[in-house]
Structure 1
Amino acid sequence: MINRVRNVGYSDRTPFLSAAVSVGLRGEIDQIIDLQIEQWYETVPQAAHLEGKDVNSLYYKRHLIETAWRIRLLRVAEAKALVEIAKVSPVAAQIWAQYEQEEMLHDDLFIQDLERVGVNRQEFLATEPYLSTKLLTGFFSYLLDHEGPLGVVAYSYLVEYVNVKLEPRKLQALKVSVGEAMIVGQISHSHTDINDDHPGEVWSALRLLIKGEQDIAALKGYLAEHQRILAMYFSELYIDTLAKPQKTEA
């Protein structure tokens, strides 16, 4: 009889990328993301707003709300991704599971910071996520159903790389504009990303999901697509807050 069992991740356990080639590819991917960051600052409305001295209160609160919603919504798809990753590489699945364990409940860190600036949990729950967040969540589901888990993991690498590179600068600015005692949750989140080396952790899983040159090409495409959807969010945020006539808060 022929064994019909498939999708257990053991068909070929030799990584397509050797350790040395993986380091080289990661450097190339990081350069691509660096170029995307430059493009981001040039094209996204008020891209550096949270790094400035005069942070708009509505913008700041709405961004915290949306960040918490993105974590809540995406963790469902990211949990489903674990199943698909396990079919390709059990080792990558173990790494991904550890990463998700560290990130899974970080929505509460942002909700705690919201409460520090006067937005309670009821107000958070009453605020519907932006369309861009829904589209990102739907894109994850599409990827898992029709293309595989590589694009989902690629998103985490993009976000973690950018966070570790830019978040310390943003948090330093927020300490001045908002107050260090008001951003404790965000500091804790950043501390985990940096000290647990989340970019490295995600890359370790990503490397094992790359099975050929076609996956390398797909990875680069995913980075550009994720950037477009994230840019949609920041445009929505800008239109919903900074672009509106400003009211003086009591």
Structure 2
Amino acid sequence: MTITTDAQSGQIRNHFRDEVESLLVREMERMFDTVPFTREFHAGTATDADYYRRHVVEIIQRIRLNNEVDAYSLYRMGSRHDRLAQKLARYLEEEYGHDAMFLQDARRLGLSREDVLSTPPFFATDLLIGFLYHSIHVDGPMPTMVWNWFVEWYSDRYNERITCKAEEHLGRDMVRGARAHLAFDADEGHVELMFSTVADVVRSERDAERVKQYLVRFVRLVGMYFQELHDATIGGAIDETVAA
């Protein structure tokens, strides 16, 4: 399978996109079935102040770490993938500084910049970032493009609901940064931009299968993160109640 952006291959490209989006929905459903509180959180039917606050901290950490991974991937591409590098450079430039939006929310939620930046990422985030660096050496720019598209797909599908529930529960001021970030991504068309980079790296059936493998692994790592988030917040509170 060769996926390009030529008009003649649009049908193949759309079919491939349908396949990988269906795969993502199935994998996310598997996560919702196995990781506590994820279904309610992503559906926008429930939230928790401690859970959401710690989630904002991890978003900030992950944005900063992900920008470094993108810069490294861009460096590794050199001049071998000019079109792809141009798209990634645009995306990276537009994403830089977005941690500041969430830092404003963190401050309103009672956390200083020092509090946030001194909080170690969860182990699942360490695994994710390490896996991305390793995968760049194995498959070149592909894992970076797949991860970035997944992040944008996830944000487009779930973050509006998550933010609405947090706003309802915690107040509008607590999600101003999150709302600004949602508006920015929508205005810049990041979902489409990053899927075009995935299409650019798929030149064969093997490449298409590798994209799917990466997506499955990324969702599993995200599931590990949400399990850790639950255990450190809601789960910890339940354990303390039981112990008392």
Task: Flag whether TM exceeds 0.5 (same fold).
Answer: yes
Aligned partner letter, 2:12: V
Note if contact 2:69-2:133 (Cα within 8 Å) is conserved in structure 1. yes
Structure 1 residue 28 displacement after superposition: 1.4
Instruction: Give the SS at the match of 1:245.
Output: helix
Instruction: Indicate the residue corresponding to 1:52 in structure 2.
Output: 45
Instruction: Indicate the residue corresponding to 1:25 in structure 2.
Output: 16
Note if contact 1:161-1:199 (Cα within 8 Å) is conserved in structure 2. yes
Instruction: Indicate the residue corresponding to 1:35 in structure 2.
Output: 26
Tell which deviates more after alignment, 64-73 or 41-50: 41-50
Note if contact 2:28-2:219 (Cα within 8 Å) is conserved in structure 1. no
Aligned partner letter, 2:102: F
After TM superposition, what 4+ stretches of structure 1 lie above 6 angstroms from structure 2? none
Separation of aligned partners in 2, 1:88 and 1:219: 20
**1:201 aligned to 2:193?**
yes
**1:61 aligned to 2:53?**
yes
Separation of aligned partners in 1, 2:83 and 2:142: 14
Instruction: Give the SS at the match of 1:211.
Output: coil
Structure 1 residue 219 displacement after superposition: 0.1
Separation of aligned partners in 2, 1:117 and 1:16: 44
Separation of aligned partners in 1, 2:95 and 2:154: 16
Note if contact 2:5-2:196 (Cα within 8 Å) is conserved in structure 1. no
Structure 1 residue 85 displacement after superposition: 4.0
Note if contact 1:112-1:185 (Cα within 8 Å) is conserved in structure 2. yes
Note if contact 1:93-1:205 (Cα within 8 Å) is conserved in structure 2. no
Instruction: Indicate the residue corresponding to 2:170 in structure 1.
Output: 178
Note if contact 2:87-2:193 (Cα within 8 Å) is conserved in structure 1. yes
Aligned partner letter, 1:205: T
Instruction: Give the SS at the match of 1:232.
Output: helix
CA distance 1:109–1:101, shift in 2 (3 Å): same
Matched pairs, number: 234
Kindly name which structure, 1 or 2, has the bigger radius of gyration based on alpha carbons. Answer: 1
Which of 83, 90, 93 does residue 98 from structure 1 map onto? 90
Structure 1 residue 160 displacement after superposition: 0.8
Note if contact 1:44-1:231 (Cα within 8 Å) is conserved in structure 2. yes
CA distance 1:86–1:31, shift in 2 (3 Å): farther
Which of 165, 173, 191 does residue 157 from structure 2 map onto? 165
Instruction: Indicate the residue corresponding to 2:235 in structure 1.
Output: 243
Aligned partner letter, 1:146: V
Aligned partner letter, 2:153: Y
Structure 1 residue 184 displacement after superposition: 0.6
Superposition RMSD in Å: 2.1
Separation of aligned partners in 2, 1:219 and 1:79: 21
Aligned partner letter, 1:235: Q
Structure 1 residue 86 displacement after superposition: 4.8
**Long gaps (5+) in structure 2:** none
Of all paired residues, the percent bearing the same amino acid is 28
Instruction: Give the SS at the match of 1:244.
Output: helix
